[in-house]
Amino acid sequence: MQRIEKLEIPEMALREVIFNAIIHKDYTGAPIQLSVYNDKLILWNEGRLPEDFTIETLLGKHPSRPFNKNVADVFFKAGFIEAWGRGIAKITTGFKNEGLKIPVFEATMGGIMVTIERPGNAKKSNKNKNVPGNVPAKVADKVVDKVVDKVVDKLTDNQKNIIALIKRNPDISARQLAPQVGISHRKIQENIAKLKEFGILERIGSPKGGHWKIIEHD
């Protein structure tokens, strides 16, 4: 008699991710950014970890040291948070209880990035879809086919997107690539290293003043 909707991402855990972003945000910087893709959600929040804290610290038992104490106090008194220092544990527990992959937390680009995999959508192909950075998948595949015939089967979708974006703008930086591809700066660097290993990509000049070169194969 009553329809029950089960969300693909645990509502309580997702709400906790957003609460954490609001409480720990550096309000002198950029706004909180939530990006929704076919296979994942990425929430990025400008702010720094407490001194001597790492991502590993957050994932374990740790004291509460909110960046904005007054905001945290209001949230606590309003009943939005139940206990100090348990936000991350509440998030990971929510995903574990649903049998879902735990979100990936990263300190990157001057803030904290949380990547949440969308169950049921993670394995869907990007064929005929638009990839981040306004590069259609068909265009990315066409660019890749022209330059990397020998290793095209080894490339991931992210690597194909990186090649297409660099082909369009050889001066683009790794940090500029990250939000357009939809992965972290660290992952961009790992993929670039792989493309260099494949003999597809070369850096001409200095890291700051140089540019990328796509190496074409006969």
Using a cut of 0.85, tell me whether the model's pTM lies above it: no
Residue 190 has a pLDDT of 92
**Using an 8 Å Cβ cutoff, are 212 and 167 in contact?**
no
Least confident of 52-61, 81-90, 192-201: 81-90
pLDDT tens-place string over residues 30-84:
889 988 888 888 999 888 877 777 777 777 776 777 788 888 888 888 888 766 6
Span 11-38, average pLDDT: 87
Q: Which residue pairs from 28-32 have beta carbons closer than 8 angstroms and sit at least 24 positions apart in sequence?
A: 29/110, 29/111, 30/111
Q: Which fold has domain 130-214?
A: Arc Repressor Mutant, subunit A (1.10.10)
DSSP characters over 26-52: -TTSPPPEEEE-SSEEEEEEE--PPTT
**For 11-117, CATH number?**
3.30.565.60
Coil, strand or helix: which one is 55? helix
- What integer is the mean pLDDT of 188-201? 88
Supply the pLDDT for residue 122.
Answer: 46
Q: Do domains 11-117 and 130-214 have the same CATH topology?
A: no
Q: Which residue ranges make up each domain of the chain?
A: 11-117, 130-214
- C-beta atoms surrounding 117 within 10 Å: 17
CA-CA distance, 169 to 165, in Å (whole number)? Answer: 6
